[in-house]
């Protein structure tokens, strides 16, 4: 059965098209729950910006009043009092507007972050095989921060500048139509320049964001593997990698600065050149008596407003394009197909399985390595409550079998049955809640011992947690800690030894009480003393449940019901330890002789 690797393909970056813009606007759905606040904020923005448009005309009127040619019928004191009231009103409106926009952006982006994390946490394993954690982290932090700034600042800035632009044009056309035509002749040139420069700015802004995400990946990987870095004295290497990544960010940022600078130079040259020309013409009109000094003052102030608005459009346009690039990366994740996880399922709703397992002609290749067949026709039948072991060299397919049973991947061919039903037909959440997994490298969360044990069964009591710890032989060391179950284990359990982490993982599995238990070399990295304690805990855990054990140390699996020997993705031998040990020239017997002679 052919299968297309959808995860191996890089997502295509969208362009500034109607379709792409429409999809980006779709993110406004996250602020719909707060539409009342958003609409009020917009109305306040329009009102405060409109009030602001009165000030240039009022400044000109002051000059006219001073020259005895006032047109509003007000004295200087009356006009000053009016402006003070308008200024206070605008300040209050702006304060409320900022609070409302902040509320909308914070709440809306919090909802987006939650949905994006929900999407990530429910993605299938192949999705993570093709992506780095640091890159995904950048999506939920940097990209959404850009969107948050867009909703809270950029949109408001654009609307404000647009109102000032349109209102300013309206005032100067009404007051001084002749000078207005000269000033407005420069606008098409600036707009055309903005379109040309904006295309390059957007492309480079997206490239910069991608480079920054790559640098974050290096930080994430280096800090997660800091023990390996220090053990191999590779601090210099990681620093070199990060410096190179940051240098790439700097180089792209400088290219971006060049284009932004050129655009700013273009705008300044055109707009301010026109302003000085208009001042010269206006001065001639005042001198000839065709215009009042106050009207010229108002015109110049409105012209400055309009020029400032046009100049800001370039920056706003760049910010909007940067936000559009961020939405592309976020939308790529939001459009991915997740696993059918039931996030509302409760422990008491889980259908309990017996644990009969059957593999029928399973063939499989990893999505990231479709050219390499890992499993080649695996047939295996395990009765409920039986213990079986998988033995073989690294790369033989042992861990892959466990991952297939966990339903992390779909087989290319064949079927897997549990209790006579294809595992694809089960509710994925209910199915996995019947499985306990103890890996070789235990990953603990950075909270307390209690939280890590209870992770296997939420809502459990301290008494149940302690009972599970006792069965896992973990209580003997937990009880020696001053904080007991409240002991902080540190990042990934760094404050505990390997054997202690393993026993907490076993306690977590015991508390879950699974029908099927999967042990992936759970004792291979431990010393002899820790291995014995952990193995005793595992024996307690395996009682009465179907258990599949991956082991390199054959002494730990001598008592299992059946041993499957794998080689290059195929089962080449199966039987009990006694049966396989006496098989002449058998793969298992040769391995057993070698191990037991060395021991």
Specify whether 165 is located in the same domain as 50.
Answer: yes
Domain stop point among 334, 362, 393: 334
Kindly tell me the sign of the dihedral angle through the C-alpha atoms of 392, 396, 402, 405: negative
Specify whether 112 is located in the same domain as 202.
Answer: yes
Specify whether 70 is located in the same domain as 188.
Answer: yes
Specify whether 321 is located in the same domain as 397.
Answer: no
Tokens of residue 507, six digits? 């306690």
Q: Give the residue from 428, 418, 422 showing the smallest Cα distance to 340.
A: 428
Residue 497 lies in a domain: no
Residue 144 lies in a domain: yes
C-alpha separations of 223 from 23, 227, 238, 469 in Å: 36, 9, 10, 30
Residue 573 lies in a domain: yes
- CATH number of the structural domain spanning residue 567: 3.40.50.300
Residue 502 lies in a domain: no
194 sits in which H/E element = helix 187-224
Residue 345 lies in a domain: no
Tokens of residue 306, six digits? 């309009």
Phi, psi of 322 (to 5 degrees): -60, -40
462-466's contacts with Cβ under 8 Å and 24+ in sequence apart are: 464/511, 465/507, 465/511
156 sits in which H/E element = helix 155-175
Looking at residue 564, its pLDDT comes to 92
Residue 297 lies in a domain: yes
Looking at residue 123, the DSSP 8-state letter turns out to be S
- Please tell me the distance from the alpha carbon of residue 416 to that of residue 410, in angstroms, as a whole number: 10
Specify whether 75 is located in the same domain as 24.
Answer: yes
Specify whether 307 is located in the same domain as 356.
Answer: no
Sheet hosting strand 421-422, strand order edge to edge: 375-382, 357-364, 413-418, 421-422
Strands 387-392 and 562-567: parallel
- Please tell me the distance from the alpha carbon of residue 143 to that of residue 329, in angstroms, as a whole number: 8
Specify whether 324 is located in the same domain as 358.
Answer: no
Q: How many CB atoms lie within 10 A of CB 361?
A: 13
Specify whether 308 is located in the same domain as 367.
Answer: no
C-alpha separations of 216 from 115, 143, 281 in Å: 22, 13, 55
Residue 535 lies in a domain: no
Specify whether 177 is located in the same domain as 266.
Answer: yes
Looking at residue 265, its pLDDT comes to 82
Domain stop point among 310, 334, 358: 334
Query: Is 116 in contact with 330 (CB distance < 8 Å)?
Result: yes
Tokens of residue 82, six digits? 């009016």
Query: Is 228 in contact with 280 (CB distance < 8 Å)?
Result: no
Residue 452, classed as helix, strand or coil, is helix
Query: Is 390 in contact with 557 (CB distance < 8 Å)?
Result: no
Specify whether 160 is located in the same domain as 273.
Answer: yes
Query: Is 554 in contact with 534 (CB distance < 8 Å)?
Result: no
- CATH number of the structural domain spanning residue 256: 1.20.1560.10
Specify whether 327 is located in the same domain as 362.
Answer: no
Q: Give the residue from 346, 329, 339, 345 showing the smallest Cα distance to 112.
A: 329
Mean pLDDT split into 10-residue runs, the chain, 599 residues: 34 50 71 88 89 82 76 80 88 90 88 88 84 80 82 82 85 77 69 71 81 83 79 84 90 87 77 72 77 78 77 72 77 82 64 89 88 90 91 87 91 92 89 85 82 80 87 85 85 75 85 86 66 76 86 80 91 88 80 64
- Please tell me the distance from the alpha carbon of residue 448 to that of residue 475, in angstroms, as a whole number: 14
In whole angstroms, what separates CA 515 from the centre of its chain?
34
Provide the domain limits for residue 371.
350-434+518-526+552-599
Q: How many domains does the chain have?
A: 2
Domain stop point among 308, 334, 360: 334
Specify whether 175 is located in the same domain as 237.
Answer: yes
562 sits in which H/E element = strand 562-567
Helix 293-334 to helix 18-25 angle (10° resolution) is 90
Looking at residue 530, its pLDDT comes to 67
Tokens of residue 493, six digits? 């359990």
- Please tell me the distance from the alpha carbon of residue 540 to that of residue 475, in angstroms, as a whole number: 15
Residue 343 lies in a domain: no
Determine if the pTM surpasses 0.75.
no
């Amino acid at each position: 059965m052919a299968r297309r690797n959808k995860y191996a393909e890089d997502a295509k970056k969208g362009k500034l098209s109607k379709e792409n813009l429409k999809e980006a606007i779709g993110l406004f759905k996250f602020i719909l729950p707060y539409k009342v606040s958003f609409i009020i904020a917009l109305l306040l923005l329009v009102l405060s910006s409109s009030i602001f448009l009165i000030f240039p005309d009022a400044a000109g009127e002051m000059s006219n009043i001073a020259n005895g040619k006032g047109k509003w019928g007000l004295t200087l004191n009356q006009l000053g009092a009016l402006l003070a009231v308008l200024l206070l009103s605008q300040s209050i409106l702006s304060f409320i507007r900022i609070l409302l926009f902040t509320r909308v952006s914070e709440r809306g982006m919090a909802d987006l972050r939650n949905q994006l994390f929900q999407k990530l946490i429910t993605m299938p394993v192949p999705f993570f095989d093709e992506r780095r954690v640091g890159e995904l982290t950048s999506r939920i932090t940097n990209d959404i921060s850009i969107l948050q700034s867009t909703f809270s600042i950029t949109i408001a800035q654009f609307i404000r500048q647009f109102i000032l632009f349109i209102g300013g044009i309206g005032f100067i056309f009404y007051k001084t139509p002749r000078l207005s035509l000269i000033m407005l002749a420069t606008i098409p040139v600036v707009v055309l320049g903005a379109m040309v420069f904006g295309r390059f700015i957007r492309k480079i802004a997206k490239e910069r964001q991608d480079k920054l995400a790559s640098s974050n990946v290096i930080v994430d990987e280096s800090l997660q593997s800091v023990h390996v870095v220090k053990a191999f004295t590779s601090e210099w290497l990681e620093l070199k990698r990060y410096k190179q990544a940051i240098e790439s960010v700097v180089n792209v940022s400088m290219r971006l600065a060049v284009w932004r600078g050129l655009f700013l130079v273009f705008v300044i040259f055109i707009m301010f050149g026109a302003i000085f020309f208009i001042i010269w013409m206006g001065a001639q009109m005042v001198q000839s008596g065709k215009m009042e000094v106050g009207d010229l003052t108002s015109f110049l102030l409105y012209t400055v407003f309009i020029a400032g608005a046009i100049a800001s459009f370039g920056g706003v346009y760049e910010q909007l394009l940067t936000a559009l690039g961020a939405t592309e990366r976020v939308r790529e994740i939001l459009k991915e197909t997740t696993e059918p996880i039931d996030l509302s399922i409760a422990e008491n709703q889980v259908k309990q399985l017996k644990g009969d397992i059957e593999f029928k002609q399973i063939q499989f290749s990893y999505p990231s390595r479709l050219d390499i067949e890992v499993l080649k026709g695996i047939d295996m039948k395990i009765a409920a409550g039986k213990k079986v072991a998988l033995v073989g060299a690294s790369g033989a397919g042992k861990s892959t079998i466990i991952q297939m049973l966990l339903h992390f991947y779909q087989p290319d061919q064949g079927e897997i049955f549990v209790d006579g039903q294809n595992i694809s037909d089960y509710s994925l959440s209910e199915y996995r809640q019947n499985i306990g997994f103890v890996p070789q490298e235990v990953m603990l969360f950075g909270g307390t011992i209690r939280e890590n044990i209870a992770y296997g069964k939420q809502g459990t009591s301290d008494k149940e947690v302690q009972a599970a710890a006792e069965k896992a032989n973990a209580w003997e060391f937990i009880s020696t800690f001053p904080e007991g179950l409240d002991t902080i284990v540190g990042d990934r359990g760094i404050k505990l030894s390997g054997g202690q982490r393993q026993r907490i993982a076993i306690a977590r599995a015991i508390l879950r009480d699974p029908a099927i238990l999967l042990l992936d070399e759970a004792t291979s990295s431990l010393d002899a003393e820790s291995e014995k304690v952990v193995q005793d805990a595992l024996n307690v855990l395996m009682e009465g449940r179907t258990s599949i054990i991956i082991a390199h140390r054959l002494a730990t699996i001598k008592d299992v019901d059946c041993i499957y020997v794998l080689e290059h993705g195929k089962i080449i031998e199966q039987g009990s330890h006694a049966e396989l040990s006496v098989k002449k020239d058998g793969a298992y017997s040769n391995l057993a002789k070698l191990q037991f002679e060395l021991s």
